[in-house]
Amino acid sequence: MMNVTRIKQSQIEERWFLIDASNKRLGVLSTMIAHILQHKNDPFYRRNLIPRHKVIVINTDKLDITPKRALSKYYKSYSGYPGGLRFISLKEQMKKDSTKVVMKAVKGMLPKNKRSREMLANLYIYRTSDHPHKAQDSLTVKIG
């Protein structure tokens, strides 16, 4: 018989990951972030345990977005009032706040349950390379 190792919540270590988003495609970047937040990169992955991985994303202003995609992709928001539906293009949203673009992409790739809010709380996104988490011993993740 094979021995099965079951990991407990108390055995999960908190780890910090640093991802540089400069010259990266949004889909590839958000897929990797969602993968890390769900602990799917660990050998002892269990869906029921509370995630403890923290991800820091820097340089979101330097994302690689094609000009056609920047004009064809729209984000919508609704205020709840009649005529309150607003659309903003990806290009305009990148100028306004590029962190929301990454946040929405990652949120769409996480499971639609209570755990997704806990996972998103472990995601820290910054527009430039300056961030307040420099004291953390973070592991740099290389993407493609």
**Per-residue model confidence as pLDDT tens digits over 88-115:** 999 999 999 999 999 999 999 999 998 8
Q: What is the mean pLDDT of the chain?
A: 92
Rg over alpha carbons for the chain, rounded to the nearest Å, is 17
Lowest mean pLDDT, pick from 15-24, 57-66, 134-143: 134-143
The SS3 call for residue 117 is helix
Q: Is residue 84 part of a domain?
A: no
Q: Is residue 101 part of a domain?
A: yes
Q: Is residue 72 part of a domain?
A: no
Pick the more confident residue, 3 or 23: 23
Measuring CA to CA, how many Å separate 74 from each of 71, 80, 104, 132?
8, 19, 12, 31
Task: Give the confidence band of 119 by pLDDT, cuts at 50, 70, 90.
Answer: very high
pLDDT digits (tens, 9 = 90+) for 54-80: 999 999 999 999 999 999 999 999 999
pLDDT of amino acid 129:
93
Q: Is residue 87 part of a domain?
A: no
Q: What is the pTM of this model?
A: 0.89
> How far is Cα 8 from Cα 5, in angstroms, rounded to an integer?
10
Domain CATH for 119: 3.90.1180.10
Q: Is residue 119 part of a domain?
A: yes
Instruction: Determine how many CB atoms are found less than 10 A away from the CB of residue 144.
Output: 7
What is the tally of structural domains in the chain? 1
115: which 2 tokens?
């755990």
Residues sharing a CB contact under 8 Å with residue 13, sequence separation 6 or more, in sequence order: 52
- Which range marks the domain in which residue 39 is found? 15-65+96-141
Helices (H), the chain: 26-37, 67-72, 90-96, 98-109, 114-120
Q: Are β-strands 15-20 and 138-141 bridged in parallel, bridged antiparallel, or unpaired? A: parallel
